[in-house]
Structure 1
Amino acid sequence: MASNLVFKLLRLPVTSKIACLRSGRLFRGKVAAVAAGTRPSSGTLPEKISRYPIPYKKDLPYDIVELMEEVESKGGFLPNVFKALSHRPAEFRAFFAYYNELMNKDTGGLTKADRELIIVATSSHNKCLYCVVSHSALHRVYSKKPTLADQVIVNYQIADLTPRERAMLDFAMAVCRCDTITDEHFLSLEEVGFDREDAWDIAAIAAFFAMSNRLAHLTDMKPNLEFFNMGRVPRDKSKNTTEM
């Protein structure tokens, strides 16, 4: 159930939003200026999500607000990447459209846990706190292995990986480090069951999240506290009133 919840939390129905994306309509909901970020209670400091301004919901295009509210309703919280990237709505749309194509596709030889583990390994190499924390959480949920991502963060080469996972991460890290890619890299993947299209997927995930890592560095993006315990402790279903 938890795996299904997280999948729905991050699954972005891009095609159903295209008309809204192009229309430029602004959110016409509540008039109150409620920010996309968390509003602090009286006498407390505001939550620091990004060094760039977090737009008010009333100033964001309708489709982005709708997506944020859907994600928060289904998942119980809104990942800070949505808030931080809403600073540039056009880039927000492009980012999540490509994210959806890479991470939520139903074809190819990569599982959802595989995809998350690639992100954990490459983001650790790139020293990206946000992606390491958030995608470790998703890997724990999908894999049901609460300690493997932690091992990969420290040193994937001595982690308790299967030969298949090790070959996958070796290839992802070669792309991440900008090593010269040779036929030997592809042969190593083929020996454990991956084909050339899977190799493209592994490389594309490593490449896309290299960009994501650097945006997180730029913005000083902070991971939500909810991510730290996700997949380690039972989910508090009382926070989610929407039937999944």
Structure 2
Amino acid sequence: MSRYPHPDLNTLPQDIRARILEVQEKSGFIPNVFLAFARRPAEWRAFFAYHDALMLKEEGSLTKGEREMIVTTTSAANQCLYCVVAHGAILRIYEKKPFIADQVAVNWRKADISPRERAMLEFAMKVCLNSQAVEPADIDALHAHGFDDEDAWDIAAITAFFGLSNRMASFAGMQPNPEFYLMGRVPREKKQCQ
């Protein structure tokens, strides 16, 4: 599962254990990233605080689906199996499109996405692969699609943060949970009212 054994959930500090149990309650399983990083509590707290600040914020024009699209696309460029599979699952759920994650991970330029999303990913990929070459024209291209300067910061920050995450997941040999592979691919069965 990983080069580093996961700590026993019962031995973790209470705040970390509570958050992990909350995620397990909501999703039905514990994503491996939560336990993999928990071996170093201070780093776990810093990692998830920044993750939440970027991915759960209400401000800005980026949707949750667009944020996950950035993660999936740039994680594919960084060849991070864990993040492509895990965040691809979340992307499929948010966008309610069973093929979208595969499309953006394999070739985002040919994916069935809007011109706005294409401009967003063009910028994210430049930050991912060639950040030193970002120039005012790149920001102007975002502006032309309704993004503002704060949105550009968000796109860059998400890309950079997940660059760290991608490298740690790959280095540690972190594997995606099997549950991620099927999430958002097949519509959930509707519960019958009795």
Q: TM-score range by the shorter chain?
A: over 0.9
CA shift, 1:237, in A, is 9.5
In 2: Cα distance, 1:237 partner to 1:207 partner: 39
**Unaligned 5+ runs, structure 1:** 1-47, 239-244
In 2: Cα distance, 1:81 partner to 1:236 partner: 28
In 1: Cα distance, 2:78 partner to 2:19 partner: 29
Q: Deviations over 1:121-166 (max 9, x none)?
A: 1000000000000011001100011112211111111212211000
Aligned residue in 2 for 1:193: 146
Give the counterpart letter for 2:82 in structure 1.
Answer: Y
Aligned residue in 1 for 2:155: 202
State whether residues 74 and 125 of structure 2, in contact with CA within 8 Å, keep that contact through their aligned partners in structure 1: yes
- The structure carrying a bigger helix percent of its residues is 2
Please tell me whether residue 215 in structure 1 is matched to residue 168 in structure 2.
yes
Match of 2:130 among 161, 174, 178: 178
In 2: Cα distance, 1:66 partner to 1:186 partner: 40
Please tell me whether residue 70 in structure 1 is matched to residue 22 in structure 2.
yes
Q: Higher relative contact order at CA 8 Å, sep ≥6: structure 1 or structure 2?
A: 2
Distance 1:114 1:64, change over 3 A: same
Match of 1:166 among 105, 118, 122: 118
In 2: Cα distance, 1:90 partner to 1:237 partner: 41
Match of 2:82 among 112, 125, 130: 130
- Aligned residues between the structures: 190
**Unaligned 5+ runs, structure 2:** none
SS of 1:177's partner is: helix
Task: Between 55-64 and 81-90, report the one with greater CA deviation.
Answer: 55-64
TM-score (norm 2): 0.94
In 2: Cα distance, 1:158 partner to 1:221 partner: 29
CA shift, 1:186, in A, is 0.5
SS of 1:67's partner is: helix
CA shift, 1:235, in A, is 4.4
Give the counterpart letter for 2:10 in structure 1.
Answer: K
CA shift, 1:57, in A, is 2.4
